[in-house]
Amino acid sequence: MTTAATSSVNKTRWLQLVFGVICMCMIANMQYGWTFFVNPMQEAHGWDRAAIQVAFSIFIVTETWLVPVEGWFVDKYGPRVVVLIGGVLCGLAWVLNSYATTLTTLYIGAALGGIGAGAVYGTCVGNSLKWFPDRRGLAAGITAAGFGAGSALTVIPIQNMIKNQGYDAAFFYFGIGQGVVITFLALFLMAPKKEQIAAVAAKVAASVKQSARDFSPKEMLTSPLFWVMYAMFVMMAAGGLMATAQLGPIAKDFGIADIPVSLIGITLPALTFAAAIDRVLNGLTRPFFGWVSDQIGRENTMFVAFAIEGVGIYALSVFGSNPVLFVILTGLVFFAWGEIYSLFPAMCGDAFGSKFATTNAGLLYTAKGTAALIVPFTSILTTMTGSWHAVFISAAALNIIAAVMALLVLKPLAAAHGKRAKQASAKVVAAE
C-alpha cells in the first residue's frame, strides 16, 4: 500500500472512530442517567424502588444479550442500517418512558431502549476493533469512553430539567435529541475493506498476542478461554452496575446526597459532584487502560485495574458516609471499573480475530447482561441487612478474585490458545 493510500486509510478510520464515539455519547444517558430518575418516579407513582430497578435490569439484559444477533447483521450487512434502527429505538424508548404511568409501560420502554442501545454499542465497538487491529485497546477504549463519559455534560441539565419540569419532560426531550443525532450519524458509518487494514495489522506490539486465524462465533463458544473471560466479565461488571444504578439511592441512604462538597475549586451537592466526576473518570479510564494494555498486555493490565477496583469498593463501604470521600471514592471505583469495556473487547479481537469481531465481541458483551440480573437483588439485600455493607463486600471480593484470575488463569490459557491457533494455521498453509 502506498504512503498516500495509507494516509487516506488513517484519516478514514479515525473519522469512523469519531462517528462511533458521538453515537456512544448519545446512548450514555440511557444507563448512566438512569439513577436520577429512580427517586422522582418512586415519589410520583409510589412504585417500589426494587420494582423500578427491574426496568434497569431489563434495559441491560436487552442491551447486551441481543448484541450478538445485531453483530451478525453488522458483520454481514455493515454498520449503517443497524445503528440507524438503534437510534430510532433509543429515541422511542425515552419518549415512551415519559408517558409511562404503569410499571409495564416502563418495562416495555426499557426493553426498546436496551435493543436500540445494544445495536449502537455493539456496532461501534465492533467497528473500532476492525478498523484498528494495531491499536485495539486504545480504539475500543476511546469508543467505550463515549459511553462511559458521554453523559458527563448532561448530568446537571438533566437534574435541572427533572427539578424544574419533571422527570417526564427530561425523558421526552433528551430522548428525541439523542435519537436524532444517532440516526443522522448512522448514515456515515462503514466497515473497512480487507486491503485497507492489511498494512496496519502488522504493527501490533509484541506484548499483545494476535490470533493467527479468525474464529467463527461457534468455534469461539467451544473455547475454554472465552468462558473464563465471560466469568471474569460478569464478576467485574456486577459491582460497577450496582454503583451505576444505585448511586442516587446509596447517597440518599448515606444521608449525604445534598450536602455541598468543594473540590478543585468547584462546589456542588455530593451526589451531583460524584455523578459528574464518575462519568468523566469512567470515560477516561477506557482509552487509558486500553492504551496501557496495548503496551504491557491485556492480562497484566486487568490485574492492576481489577485490584484497584476491589480496594475502592471496600473503601467506599467504610468511608462513603463522608461526603468528600464519597465523591473521591466513587470516582476511583468508576475509574477502575470502566476499563472492562475496552480490555475485554480488545482481548476478544486479539484471541479470535477480526472477521467476526462484532459478533464475537457481542457474545462476550452479554456478560454485562448476566451481571445486570444481580442489580435488583442489591436493593433487596440492603433492605434485609439494613445497610449497603454486605453488597459492597460481595462486590469487592468478586473484583479481587477476578484480578488474581487474570494472571493465574487467563494469561496461561490465552497463551495456550494462541499456540494452538498458530499451529492450526501453519497446517492449513502447509496443506495449500
Secondary element (H or E) of residue 84: helix 79-99
CB 342 within 8 A of CB 137: yes
Q: How far is residue 340's CA from residue 275's CA, in Å, rounded to a whole number? A: 19
* Confidence at residue 200, expressed as pLDDT on a 0 to 100 scale: 67
| CA quadruple 273, 64, 395, 26: dihedral, nearest 10 | -10
Is 60 a residue whose pLDDT tops 90? no
Q: How far is residue 248's CA from residue 252's CA, in Å, rounded to a whole number? A: 6
Residue count of the chain, please give it.
432
User: Domain containing 72: what range?
Assistant: 3-431
Cell numbers at 88, concatenated:
430510532
- Spatial neighbors of 321 by CB under 8 A, at least 6 apart, are 254, 255, 256
**Domain count of the chain?**
1
pTM for the full model?
A: 0.78
Question: pLDDT band at 146, cuts 50/70/90?
Answer: confident
Per-residue pLDDT tens over the stretch 170-200: 999 999 999 999 999 999 999 888 777 776 6
Top pLDDT among 423 and 41 is at 41
Q: How far is residue 276's CA from residue 364's CA, in Å, rounded to a whole number? A: 29
Is 122 a residue whose pLDDT tops 60? yes
Instruction: Tell me what the mean pLDDT of segment 403-429 comes to.
Output: 86
* Confidence at residue 316, expressed as pLDDT on a 0 to 100 scale: 85
**CATH number, domain containing residue 129:** 1.20.1250.20
Per-residue pLDDT tens over the stretch 219-267: 999 999 999 999 999 999 987 777 666 677 778 878 888 898 888 888 8
271-280, 364-373, 422-431: segment of lowest average pLDDT: 422-431
CB 320 within 8 A of CB 329: yes
Top pLDDT among 273 and 224 is at 224
Is 388 a residue whose pLDDT tops 80? no
Mean pLDDT, rounded, of the chain: 87
Q: How far is residue 170's CA from residue 94's CA, in Å, rounded to a whole number? A: 9
Instruction: Tell me what the mean pLDDT of segment 64-87 comes to.
Output: 90
The dihedral sign for the CA sequence 267, 269, 270, 273: negative
* Confidence at residue 304, expressed as pLDDT on a 0 to 100 scale: 96
